[in-house]
Amino acid sequence: MLGALSVVAAWLLFYAFVFSGFQEASAQRTAYANFRSELAQAIAPVGKNIPLGAPVAELKVPQAGIDDVVLEGTTSGVLESGPGLEADTPLPGQDGWSVIFGRQAMFGGPFRHLALLAPGDLLQVTTGQGTFTYKVTGLRLPRDPQPPAPMLGQSRLTLITTGGPGLRGAWAPNQLLYVDASLVGKPASAAAIALPAVPASQLPAHRGAVTTWIPASQLPMQGDTSGLFSLVLWMQLFVLAMLAVAWVGPRWGRWQTWLVAAPALLAVAWIASELALQMLPNLL
């Protein structure tokens, strides 16, 4: 039993900090191909009501090594494929306050070098409305004062990830890191956002007065338990597969059995691990 638990723990660690990066890179290649195709056909999204996980922008921050496609939504599942745009904020380049989340370590850690940015650095965002340049105005922590909400005709972009001192910042972050940037030039027109009313006590605090409503699973450092039922089913399938291996092994032979069963077991373990990590905070 201890040996089995050790193997499971080792697999989860390798998947979280090594194998998940390959998964994120593959998802980014697919998202990049789809988004560039949409840009070429002039059908890239420019309003709201965008499907969760759909590509909405391309973010380039050379100083932090960021060149990623931004997806719609900020659940743990979406952020497994790259940075995500908070669903209740306008697209970058539009009038208002846009917010993009990015992971620190797991699934490629696209925002792991975000702390290297400094005021005055430039970053570039491409959407269906063109390419926009933002200038970093400052980095802040949760205890620091928030900048005032942008006025009409202004556009601000905030990048959010986690951080902490030393190596702890990667595997056990204890604070959020915000990078604020202001648009250089005039913003594009933004589509109206229709969202349900919600009590003020349930609103997230990281954007102050401009925040509206999004599900709890899309707030910073929140997990997503919607895949728990699927996780249980995949774990049951894994147990059944292991029992089948134990039964077939003496009849087929050990190596013949594992030659056939290993790919299937790896696929089931991969999917179960992905669902399990979705329940962890979305910015890790």
Final residue of a domain: which of 196, 218, 240? 218
Final residue of a domain: which of 172, 198, 218? 218
For position 181, which CATH number holds?
2.40.260.10
User: 49 and 75 in one domain?
Assistant: yes
pLDDT digit string, tens, across residues 160-218: 999 866 555 556 677 899 999 999 999 987 654 433 333 333 334 455 333 447 888 99
- Number of C-beta neighbours around residue 14 at 10 A: 12
Confidence band of 131 (pLDDT split at 50, 70, 90): very high
User: 169 and 36 in one domain?
Assistant: yes
- Number of structural domains (the chain) is 2
Q: Could you tell me how many residues make up the chain?
A: 284
Q: What is the dihedral of CA 151, 43, 215, 158, to 10 degrees?
A: -40
Confidence band of 122 (pLDDT split at 50, 70, 90): very high
Closest among 195, 216, 232, 201 to 76, alpha carbons compared? 216
pTM: 0.87
Rounded Cα–Cα distance for residues 205 and 246 (Å): 53
Final residue of a domain: which of 218, 239, 258? 218
Q: Backbone phi, then psi, for 261, in 5-degree steps?
A: -85, -30
pLDDT digit string, tens, across residues 40-61: 999 999 987 899 999 999 999 9
Question: What pLDDT score was predicted for residue 200?
Answer: 34
Q: Are strands 96-101 and 155-163 parallel, antiparallel or unpaired?
A: parallel
pLDDT at 221 over 80: yes
| Residue 284 is assigned to a structural domain of this protein | no
User: 148 and 269 in one domain?
Assistant: no
User: 85 and 34 in one domain?
Assistant: yes
Domain of residue 239 covers 228-277
Residue 70, H or E segment: strand 66-72
- Number of C-beta neighbours around residue 157 at 10 A: 28
